[in-house]
Amino acid sequence: MNPLTREDLLSLEQYAEQRDDFRARVMQHKKHRRVAIGPNFTLYFEDRLTIQYQVQEMLRIERIFEAAGIEEELAAYNPLIPDGSNLKCTAMFEFPEVEERRRRLAELTGVENQVWMQVDGFDTVYAIANEDLDRSTDEKTSAVHFMRFEFTPDAVAALQNGAGLKAGVRSDLYPHETVLDEATRKALVNDLSGG
C-alpha cells in the first residue's frame, strides 16, 4: 500500500467540517477489522484509512498545521499501514479491573511473541511485535502492542482464493484462538492485495 502524504490529509479546518462524516465512515470500516482472541485480548487491524483517521485526529488534538509537524506524524504512523505481504495491527490486553490488569500483565510477560495467525493449510505465522520500541519489561508486558504478520506469497494467494484464517495466543497463561468470520477475513484479504 502507498504511504500517506500531506496531500492525502485534510487541513484542520476541512477536517473540522468533515469530521463527523469521516469518523462515521471509519467506525463502520473498522467493524470487520477487530479480532477478539479470548475474553481479554483484541487485535485491531490497521490499513490506510484507519491510519489516516489516526493522523487526522492527532493533528486535530495537537493543533498541528506546520509542514514539519505533519511530516513527523506521518513518519510515526505510516509504518502501521500494511504493504501487501503482511497484516498489521494494534493489539490490546483489556482487563476491566486495575488489580487484575496489573497481575495479568505481570504474568503474561513476553506473550506478545506468542501471538499467531494461520492460513488454512499453511504454517503458523508469529507476530513480529513492537518494532518501534520494546513495550515489555522483565516484570510485565504492555497492555498495547503493535504487530506485523508476514505471509508467504502462496499463503496470500490461498487467502485470496478463500482459505480460512485463524488467530491465537500460544501460551499456557492465555490459551485462546479464534477462526475469523468471513467478513473479517475478506477485509483483511483486501490488505494483502494492496487494496
CA–CA separation, 30 and 11 (whole Å): 23
Q: The C-alpha cell of 158 is what?
A: 490461498
pLDDT at 60: 93
Convert 111-123 to b/e letters by CB count within 10 Å (16 or more is b). Answer: bbbbbbbbbeebe
Q: Beginning with the edge strand found earlier in the chain, give each strand of the sheet holding 41-45 in spatial order.
A: 34-37, 41-45, 86-93, 144-150, 128-129
The mean of the pLDDT values for the chain is 91
Within this chain, do residues 67 and 141 fall inside the same structural domain, yes or no?
A: no
Q: The C-alpha cell of 104 is what?
A: 495479568
Average pLDDT over residues 177-191: 95
pLDDT at 77: 87
CA–CA separation, 195 and 191 (whole Å): 6
CATH of the domain at 121: 2.60.40
| pLDDT at 134 > cutoff 70 | no
Within this chain, do residues 185 and 101 fall inside the same structural domain, yes or no?
A: yes
Helices (H), 82-173: 98-107, 153-160
Average pLDDT over residues 117-121: 97
Q: Which domain holds residue 27?
A: 1-31+48-81
| pLDDT at 194 > cutoff 60 | no
Q: Into how many domains does the chain fold?
A: 2
Within this chain, do residues 9 and 36 fall inside the same structural domain, yes or no?
A: no
- Other CB atoms closer than 10 Å to residue 139's CB: what's the count? 8
Within this chain, do residues 145 and 104 fall inside the same structural domain, yes or no?
A: yes
Within this chain, do residues 97 and 179 fall inside the same structural domain, yes or no?
A: yes
Within this chain, do residues 38 and 2 fall inside the same structural domain, yes or no?
A: no
CA–CA separation, 79 and 100 (whole Å): 32
Over residues 162-172, the pLDDT tens digits come to: 999 999 999 99
Over residues 120-132, the pLDDT tens digits come to: 999 999 999 887 6
pLDDT band at residue 64 using 50, 70 and 90 as cut-offs: confident
Beta-strand pair 86-93/144-150:
antiparallel
